[in-house]
Chains A and B, each alone.
Chain A
Amino acid sequence: MRLTRPKVLGITFLVLGILLSLYSAARIDPAQRTTLGVGTLGTRDVPAQASLVLIGLITSLSGILALFDRLRRALAPTLVTVALLDMLALMIWAARGSSVDLVGMLAASLRMATPIALGSLAGIWCERSGVINIGIEGMMLAAAAFGFAVNLYLSQWLGPRAIWIGLLAAVLTGGLMAFFHAVLSIRFKTDQIISGTAINILAVGASGFLRRAYLVKAYFVGEILPIVNVPLLADIPILGAIFFQNRPIVYMMLILVVLTNFILFFTAWGLRTRAVGEHPLAADTVGIDVFKTRYVNVVIGGLMAGLAGGWFSLETVGSFEDLMTGGKGFIALAAMIFGNWTPYGAFMGALLFGFAEALEIKLQILDAPIPHQFLTMVPYFATMVVLAGLIGRTVPPAADGRPYEKQ
């Protein structure tokens, strides 16, 4: 039997499922119950041990399915469903003897996924046109700082409305940083990864300088963007609470995911962008301006990274801390690779990372017996595993990272 990738995956599922069942049967008190809340629909008590054993069995069964070549077609949906079930198992385990609100968890995941998804969209815009952008982290950080600074100083005159101008400033800051990256990597043909690294360091220095020189003098906890309920849609049970009772940047992210996918795959501009990213010489031959396409795409990507930066200082906390983006820009890159350079895929990746983060916070609240650092590590491990092709091959744009020399 050849050990193909689905088989490796199947064996992994099988072993994990058996381990889960055995562990739950041996170590969990049969009397413990977990209260699962489903938003406004009420709650339901489930016996923790029995549910975990059941989910473990389902997981191992799905693993066995993966071993049969004939069931290939049904494999991906099955494994995704089972993976979702395993996440449920994680919540049941973490919250045993206590309660967890599923809708709340999903809403929190979406919230946490927002900057990651926006960052990965920024990456997609850049890399689909052939420019690697490892400076997303720095663009976010600078945007968070400058957006907050503008909000801080304008709110003396404009009151709470200033926050929208702050958000605009954040977006533009991201665009400006991206323009710098574009000039370095397109005009001066600098190694794009080094140029991105320079942007990251510049952002740390500039935002720290800005904070200490101007922001700490005025003690100020800023406004944050308000929650906006979408009329009608917000009242849909479950979905309403997850998707339509959010703050503005979450909506913008959702719209931008759809919009990016549309532009990239259904418009002339998107076709040109992909052509430039895959084979710039061919694109040039048919009359596409490679440099212009790259400049525009990198800057658009930067604007999205800027919006992600705004999420930190203007939508979440209303202040700016040093290094407050905390590596989300790099996670965004990972989500982009996860999603194989497609907007919907990247969004799914971002949701996964967002879920891990929401779960980590929940575990800390519940004082679960595993160190929270381990859970924080999971996305990083997952990224390395996905990148190594253990789950599926990812294919970057062919000309990604290669400066274009006009012949």
Chain B
Amino acid sequence: MTAEAGKHRGIPWRKWVAAWSQRVSDLAIPFLAVFTALAIGAVVIWASGASVPKAYQGLFEGALGSPRGIAETLVIATPYTLAGLAVALGFRCGLFNIGAEGQFYLGALFAVWVGYSVKGLPIFVHLPLAILVGALGGALWGAIPGFLKARLGTHEVINTIMMNYIAVLMVDWLVNRKGPMWDSTSTVPRTPYILPTATLPQLVPPYRLHAGLLIAIAAVFVVYWLLWKTTLGFEIRAVGANPSAAKYAGMSVTRNFVLAMTFSGVLAGLAGAGEVLGLNRTLPAAFVSGYGFDSIAIALLAKSHPLFVPFAAILWAILRNGAGLMQIRAGISVDLISIVQALVIAFVAADEIIRWLYRIGKKEEIKEVVFTRGWGR
């Protein structure tokens, strides 16, 4: 065998190793980001005089230590998955949908309205109708900033933030005392309860886990199919990667912006609908949310890939769900989890920090997901 042939044989092998080590290190970054954030969290716990093992043991036991804990983690992961998908889909089109929060509110509002006001329908009509109308509410709230971005070039970030506030205020007005949707028989400001025919059934009866989980799982595959198996998905990704190139290729950037934001709104709206139809069965004026920012984190952590979103959502749910027991065991405030989560976002978004910390080589390929471009002019 000549030396030349040996050299030839060596090249594909080396290429293969390089490709795989690249892939492994890319995959390792989210894990390292979470690890680093938890490590910094440990320093904060230690600095405030609490026991680190107790705190983190409480965190994981609270989230995964019992059937109830696991069911609750999945309950929390359900809206996280849907809202995370919403943001991930936006990212794929080069849009930063910070408005998942408002779209979530609108979804909840529309769904609860159908849930309590439409009477006399059988469950197999009423429940899908409520879910559908909820999705529509989210779609509406997503389409407006999408349209404004596409037609007038105004940045979706500012518009979706403004629409978040408008959504919150609108819900507050509708549901609070003397509002049009206020249930006057109740002592706390909230809407009337939805009818049993609009309720998402429980999956494992003693626990709160509801059929919204199935919607979320279905949505994961639908978004994956949409993005990678349809022409529309290809266009959305093309516009996200390079709007001018997509335009020269004959695609309508306007149409794809509006459609991507609408689908994004549908997903966030479904998350809101699931929460009221499966869990609360009413929309209280003090509707706890914060999905807007959490969903961004989840989408970033999943690298905007729909199939990774549920895992990121479960991680986020573990952190949220375990925080309660962590507080009880170690006497450390649940807000620690927000710090950890913010650090995860920072590290995942700025993966160069992680690469620098752990000496992982920089990848040479062009970034596939282009996030945002200035104020969009």
Task: Give residues in A with beta carbon < 8 Å to B.
Answer: 132, 134, 184, 188-191, 193-195, 197-202, 204-206, 208-209, 211-213, 327, 330, 333-334, 337, 371, 373-374, 376-377, 380-381, 383-384, 387-389, 395-396, 399-402
Are A184 and B148 in touch, CB under 8 angstroms? no
- Going nearest first, the 3 A-B pairs with the smallest beta carbon separation are A205-B338, A401-B374, A202-B342
Least distance between B159 CB and chain A CB atoms (Å): 6
Q: Which residues of B contact A188 (CB under 8 A)?
A: 350, 352-353
Are B338 and A204 in touch, CB under 8 angstroms? yes
Least distance between A383 CB and chain B CB atoms (Å): 5
Are A201 and B293 in touch, CB under 8 angstroms? yes
A sample of 11 more A-B contacts (CB under 8 A), given A204-B338, A377-B170, is A184-B346, A184-B349, A184-B353, A189-B352, A197-B98, A197-B345, A209-B44, A333-B158, A373-B173, A380-B166, A387-B148
Are A194 and B371 in touch, CB under 8 angstroms? yes
Interface check B188, CB cutoff 8 A: no
Q: Which residues of B contact A201 (CB under 8 A)?
A: 293, 297, 338, 341-342, 345
Are A388 and B152 in touch, CB under 8 angstroms? yes
Are A402 and B158 in touch, CB under 8 angstroms? no
Interface check B22, CB cutoff 8 A: no
- One of B103-111, B121-129, B226-234, B329-337 at the interface: B329-337
Least distance between B54 CB and chain A CB atoms (Å): 16
Among residues of B, the one whose C-beta sits closest to the C-beta of A383 is B162
Are B336 and A205 in touch, CB under 8 angstroms? yes
Are B169 and A198 in touch, CB under 8 angstroms? no
Least distance between B127 CB and chain A CB atoms (Å): 31
Q: Which residues of A contact B179 (CB under 8 A)?
A: 371
Are A209 and B371 in touch, CB under 8 angstroms? no
**Residue among A132, A206, A387, A389 making CB contact with B339, cutoff 8 Å:** A206
Q: Which residues of B contact A202 (CB under 8 A)?
A: 338-339, 342-343, 346
Contacts A205-B335, A209-B335 given; does A193 touch B96 at CB 8 Å: yes
Interface string of B136-171 (1 = CB under 8 A from A): 000000000000100010110111011101100110
Among residues of B, the one whose C-beta sits closest to the C-beta of A192 is B372
Q: Which residues of B contact A191 (CB under 8 A)?
A: 349, 371-372
Among residues of A, the one whose C-beta sits closest to the C-beta of B340 is A205
Interface check B86, CB cutoff 8 A: no
Least distance between B82 CB and chain A CB atoms (Å): 19
Are A401 and B372 in touch, CB under 8 angstroms? yes
Among residues of B, the one whose C-beta sits closest to the C-beta of A216 is B333
**Residue among B159, B170, B342, B372 making CB contact with A387, cutoff 8 Å:** B159
Interface check B198, CB cutoff 8 A: no
**Residue among B157, B163, B165, B336 making CB contact with A193, cutoff 8 Å:** B157
